[in-house]
Chains A and B, each alone.
Chain A
């Protein structure tokens, strides 16, 4: 297990380094000078030069890359060109909205998808199964931001159960904050839950047709016992893979959903940063999200071995 984990850790580090190179050098080719953007067209050449020096824009690309990466590791992401405050502070302020939103949506996804997928698989061909498959087919096809708008229309405007947007902040109390994130999280979760329920169903159907399930039934286990002791665990591998992939979609989706609900998270930050050409913020947010995706996939790889120890020998 340890050797396997170390090997995966090695490839995790390589992925992170390559990703940081890709992000840095993609955004480095941007035309225009952040210093002149910050100071406007009437800036004195000396002031401009001083600011360029202060922002570290006069160093070579390699030096700037190294200082950026060192900053990433130490948590010093530099100074935002437009906010004039440390990027790490701005990002941290926004992250406390986007990350809980994505995690909340992930929990909802799993909580909805598992029972629904298991129900459909165990009642294969029944009316329930047909309804689940039809419903998930719709769920997969719905654009989540549109679904969010429809939910606002129904639950915020007509029924007045929730506010139509905005975020009171975690200081307002945990429950108040969670309530503000509930509709956005449902909107994010529904399409992903539909996908996951379908994967759960088909994976479980595959394992339920295996010989060892028949054997366990022959030994006298009830259908439910066979399902719980043997089928579910073996069906989890493809399900875990999809959950890992989904977290990246949830993080990216959170950026979009934040727009519908006017949530001041990473999404709004990054779109503002793009329009203001505040590249250091864009770089940091993109790197943060890519980092999250790579780390999650690493954890999923480790979880495989936990779920199915046979996989260890194959590595």
Chain B
């Protein structure tokens, strides 16, 4: 319970920062002030300034938007495609369809999101949109697998049998009876994938395959700090802590939610 509160508080802090940045940031993150560059944290600039004199706190607030947006959409893709696939595979368990879905899943698992991003970028050039697609594609088999696993055990329940006896088809049972019972599991898995999405977005932006200038992003702030962090460690520390704390918050919230919603989920989720 303590974990859950701490996790939600940390997550809320960054979501709030991202939302506030739409209307207010301490400084304009696009304004360069070279005379004020690489200033360590001080009263005017709480997190200091970067190599162009931009306010790091403002950049982190705006960067949170990119991270959160990429992760939300990527999880959305995973749920939107993965859950129906998992439900289908479970409803027609053992069929050719099930086999095709699960084998395709295995295949996608062989392509870590970084490789998908490399391929997409090679074709269409780098952008935040491509990062979303790459992370989203990798999320599909995760949700399909979790959904199928849990749905299979639900199909043996008496209430599903009752629904079949009353003449409902497999598709209708999946949506009316199986899916609602999977919600807890999906919320927990969604939180985990959300945090992985934030890490993946940061990594992709760091190597230049994600958000492009002028869109601020935590990963790119780290990449840009790379040649200077020996002179001014703060330009590396703050974006890094932003990623660390957001991911930590989401993981704690995910663990807490799992324990709160159903302690038995631990087994199913694995």
Q: Residues of A at under 8 Å CB distance from B?
A: 11, 14-15, 18-19, 22-23, 26-27, 29-30, 137-138, 140-146, 149-150, 153, 157, 164, 202, 238, 245, 248-249, 251-252, 255-256, 259-260, 267, 270-271, 273-274, 277, 279, 282, 285-286, 289-290, 293-294, 297
Contacts and interface: CB of A to CB of B under 8 A. Distances in A.
Contacts of A245: 109
Given A19-B107, A145-B222, A146-B243, A274 B112 contact: no
Given A141-B195, A286-B115, A153 B229 contact: yes
A29 B110 CA distance: 21
Given A19-B107, A274-B118, A274-B122, A140 B251 contact: yes
A144 B219 CA distance: 12
A11 B105 CA distance: 13
Contacts of A144: 203
A248 to B, nearest CB: 5
19 contacts: A11-B103, A18-B107, A19-B107, A22-B111, A137-B252, A138-B244, A140-B251, A143-B199, A143-B222, A143-B244, A146-B239, A153-B236, A251-B112, A252-B112, A256-B114, A260-B226, A285-B118, A297-B106, A297-B110
Contact of A137 (B103, B207, B248): B248
A202 B239 CA distance: 32
B202 interface: yes
A251 B110 CA distance: 12
A202 B266 contact: yes
A256 B207 contact: yes
Interface string B112-133: 1011001111110000000000
A249 B208 contact: no
Nearest to B230: A157
A132 to B, nearest CB: 15
Contact of B240 (A19, A149, A270): A149
Contact of A252 (B115, B237, B251, B266): B115
B118 A282 contact: yes
Majority secondary structure, B binding face: helix
A252 B114 contact: yes
Contact of B115 (A143, A164, A290, A297): A290
B112 A293 contact: yes
Interface string B244-270: 110110011000000000000010001
Interface residues on B, range: 35 or more
Nearest to A244: B109
B244 A27 contact: no
Contacts of A150: 236-237, 240
B233 interface: yes
Interface of B: 103, 106-107, 109-112, 114-115, 118-123, 195, 199, 202-203, 206-208, 219, 222, 225-226, 229-230, 233, 236-237, 239-240, 243-245, 247-248, 251-252, 266, 270
A293 B244 contact: no
Given A15-B110, A18-B107, A141 B247 contact: yes
A11 to B, nearest CB: 7
B115 A149 contact: no
Contacts of A274: 118, 121-122
A252 B111 CA distance: 9
A255 B113 CA distance: 12
Nearest to A277: B122
Contacts of A249: 112
Contact of B112 (A141, A248, A285): A248
Given A22-B107, A30-B122, A293-B111, 20 more contacts: A19-B111, A22-B111, A26-B119, A27-B119, A138-B244, A138-B248, A140-B247, A143-B199, A143-B222, A149-B225, A248-B110, A252-B115, A255-B114, A256-B207, A267-B207, A271-B208, A279-B122, A286-B115, A286-B119, A290-B115
Contacts of B118: 270, 274, 282, 285-286
Contacts of B115: 252, 286, 289-290
Interface centre among B110, B195, B219 (most CB of A within 10 A): B110
Given A252-B114, A294-B110, A23 B119 contact: yes
A255 B208 CA distance: 12
Contacts of A267: 207
A90 to B, nearest CB: 16
Contacts of A202: 266
A141 B244 contact: yes
Contacts of B106: 15, 297
A294 B103 CA distance: 12
B220 to A, nearest CB: 12
Contact of A293 (B110, B240, B247, B252): B110
B222 A282 contact: no
Contacts of B251: 137, 140-141
B119 A153 contact: no
Contacts of B199: 141, 143
B270 A238 contact: yes
A19 B110 contact: yes
Nearest to A138: B248
